[in-house]
Structure formats: structure tokens, C-alpha cells
Structure 1
Amino acid sequence: MTHTADSHDTIRVEGARENNLRDVTVELPKRRLTVFTGVSGSGKSSLVFDTIAAESQRMINETYPAFVQGFMPSLGRPDVDRLEGLTTAIIVDQERMGANQRSTVGTATDANALLRRLFSQVGEPHVGSPNAFSFNVPSATGSGMLKVQKGQGKAQAEKAEFHILGGMCPRCEGIGHISDLDLDELYDASLSLSEGPFKIPGYTADGWNVKMIIDTGYFDPKKPIKDYTERELDDFLHRQNTKIKFNGINITYNGLIPSIQRTFLSKDREAMQPHIRAFVDRA
């Protein structure tokens, strides 16, 4: 029995020569799932993206007024003898959707939220909180004063505390993997802060980052790092969320390792500048 979808029109490609294609002719049924498979370089993307989708996009752009087209990229016609039956193409290419490692198909389509609800209702967590499936929800605590409306609209101040037990791993922050650092790739321990010991992009001897470390008052700027006491080395490497005053401004000081993890390792490697990516690969 013939499937109903087979009665629909087809997309016909004749003589496609984009990139490494050599006079390819093919008919594709509409409203059916068609899969192109082959080894790397066989022309899958050249046919799908650079020929069919490119011509569909070019035809759509031509429907806009000339004024609007002036702000759009100029698209040339693909190297093909004939294209028939094209309709609007929605392109989901192989590029990353954003620089954030948490950006996935699930987050972009809200499928993650639906799966989270499914797992929370069907799954049986055996450790952690009810948010155990919420890998991007960190644990949090806080306290403060609240104004509570009581009787005839009068506000009464009350102290309140809250605690949220999330499902995020505090070390990998929900990413699923961690990156350990090679300290020898971060600094030269034989040098002092004033001598510029760092091998980290942006950490020059006269730069803002190094001046801030010196102005904390925790370290002797002329003392080699290898001679730091255990307490000084811990403050230098691991201290977190400490309020200090730098150039008359209140800022938060974090040790070298949490700063590197937040500034470099938590970012998408492919979106980094080449010299930053080289440092991350070494560290």
C-alpha cells in the first residue's frame, strides 16, 4: 500500500556542483524524513546546506523589499543546473548555539524543563534533595529581614532564613566534568608578585589583576611565591569571596584557582581567542 506522504511533490536537484559535488542529480520526497550518510568529505553538507538550503534562503530573501535586502547578506545562486519544488528551509547547522556550555538543544527548546518534570514525578531519587535532577540548580542559603503585612495593612519586620538544596555538583557546577590545573603553567614560583610571575593571559606585572592581588595585603610583593607560608599559599590559590578595597572601590577577591576556573575553564573552549585557548590547553 502506498503511503499517503508519497503522493506529495518532490524536491528535484539536477547537476549539483557545489564544492566537491560532481553533477549530482537526486529527487527528495517532501514531508518525509530523508537522511544523508557518508564518510567525511563525501558532499553531504554541500548538497543539503550549500545547495538546497542556500537556494531556499536566497529565494526567501528576494521576497523582501529592496530597502530590507540592503541590510541582508548577498547570497549567490548555488552551482546547480536545476532546482525544483523548493519550500521554506529551516536550517539547524553544526555550529554551537552559544558560548555557554549549558546551551544545548534541550535548553533551547525547553525540552530540559519537560524532562526535569518527568524525572521528578517518575524517577526515584535516592540521594540529595527533591531537586536532585536539577543539575543546574545550586544549593543556596540566605537570611535577612522581611516586611510582613499584618492587620489593617501594617507592615511588621521579621527575620527570615531560607535554604535551597539543589542538585548541582558544587565542584563541576553541573557541567559534568572538572578540569584540574597545572600550577607550573600558571606561574613561576621562583618569582615574586612584583617580578611578574604569571603565565596567564591578562596577568601582567603592571596589570589590574596583579595589582589587586598585591593590594589585598595578604602577600609581600617582593617575596617569591615558593617561600609563601601554608596560609599565604592557601590565600593565594584558594581564598574565595573576600571583600577588599582596591583603588577606593569595594571589590571581591578570589584566589587564583577559582578566578581561573570562573574566567577561563567555565567558558566554551571553541569560542575562545586562540591565545586564550592555547593557555587553557596547557593549564
Structure 2
Amino acid sequence: MTNLQKPSLGLIRANWNAPKRVHALFTLRTGGVSSGPFGGLDGLSGMNVGLYCGDVPACVRANRAILAGLAGGEPHWLRQVHGTAVVQADHAAPEQEADGLWTATPGVVLAIQTADCLPVVLADSEGCAVAALHAGWKGLAGGILQKGVKTLRGALGPGARILAWLAPRIGPESFEVGGDVLEAMKKKLPQAGLAFAPGPKSGKWMADLACLAREALAQEGVAAEDVSDCGLSTAADPQRFFSYRRDKGRTGRHATLVWMEP
């Protein structure tokens, strides 16, 4: 007999040391209403949240509404441009061009979209402020993580202890890049070479986004024990994840959400 039951919403919840009032999660590819390449592996019930990847806008808005119900408030969505702008969600325009959001207001929900890039969630140890950052290689090379940490400390004080959660992203076994990426990283991160291994093709490198993120966070004094990593690769698991590179650009976008309870 055919199973006509819609898949439940798949989620990965952050496993880190943030206060209980801070909620952070990453959506999997099923549990929504998108279809085709924006659906599950069977092409159905997809939780795509990206408005600019070719999906039917009404389906994307329906998926976003599901997440608003889950979080208890409408998430703040950005039009991400692989830059380093980090804006305060309380004053951000809808779909504002930026790649990071922060807030010190309970109940304000931050959202980042990814399909291989690294989503990074920040919070202080007292649960007074949170940030969500889109860290692809261009953002990492530009210093978006350092900017995110500085922004939270600017709001809370220079002594604030910052915690970070690294959500699913393309793993180093799948992320082949050119030498230009390595050189761009070295300009911002002196030890960036540790995050690159020679690739199977001449002149190519396999890049570890999580390793680069740890170095960027360390530059701002975020302790290694305060960085939690889910360790999951989007490219390696088509059952659960969209992947821009694996799916040759025709794919959906995951959401990483973070908010503080009122």
C-alpha cells in the first residue's frame, strides 16, 4: 500500500553549551511543500526556504510559515550576497542584503540560508544576545566570523564569553577549490594552510570550512572548548541535505534559526 503520509519536519538541534533559553536549529530537506529538486530525495515534501533558487515562491513562503510556527515568531530573512555585512535584526529591512544577523531582543528569530556554505550561530554564555552568520569561503576570507564576534561584544561588553555552533556544511572530502581560495584565506588567516589538503587534480585543494571557522573564531579570543561542531557534511548525505555542489546548482536551501526565549 502506498504511504501517503507527509514526512515530518526534519531538524538538527544545536548540541552546545548555550543557556537553555537560547534555541538553535538546522532544517533538513523534508517536512515542507516544495517539490522536484527542492523536495526530498523522492522529489516531494521539500523544506526549501530559498526564494531565489528557482522554487515556486508560494511553496517557499509556506515552508517559511511552518518555521515561523515552530519558532513562535516570523524569522528575519536576508538576501545573502557572500559578503561580511552583519545587521541588527530589530532594524533590518525584509530581505535586506547582508550575510549576518544579530539581536539582543528575546523572541526575535534570526535565519540564515545555506546549501553547502557554513552556517555559524553565536551566543554569549549568559544568553543575552545571539547572531547567525552565513560563512561561505568568501565570507570567511572577508572576516565575517570575526565581525560577528566583535558585534556581539560591542553590544555586551569586551569581556563577554562567546559560544559558537557550526552547523552542517560541505565537508572537506567534497569541497575542491583552486589555489586562489587558499591564497585569499591566507591573507586573513595566517594558519589557513592547515585547513587545505592537496586535491586529486593538479592545482586543486580540498578545503575544510569548519577548520577555517575555528581559526577565525580563535582570532577573536573564542576558546576552542566554546566551539561546538555538528561535524555533518551536506554533500555526503543526499537523503537529508541539499547540496549546491553535489546537485550542480539546482537545489533547495536549508535554514539555520536561532532565537532567545522571551
TM class, shorter-length: under 0.3
Q: Please identify the structure whose Cα radius of gyration is greater.
A: 1
The answer to which structure has the higher helix fraction is: 1
> Given the two structures, how large is their TM-score scaled by the length of structure 2?
0.23
> Given the two structures, how large is their TM-score scaled by the length of structure 1?
0.21
Question: Larger relative CO (CA 8 A, sep 6+): 1 or 2?
Answer: 2
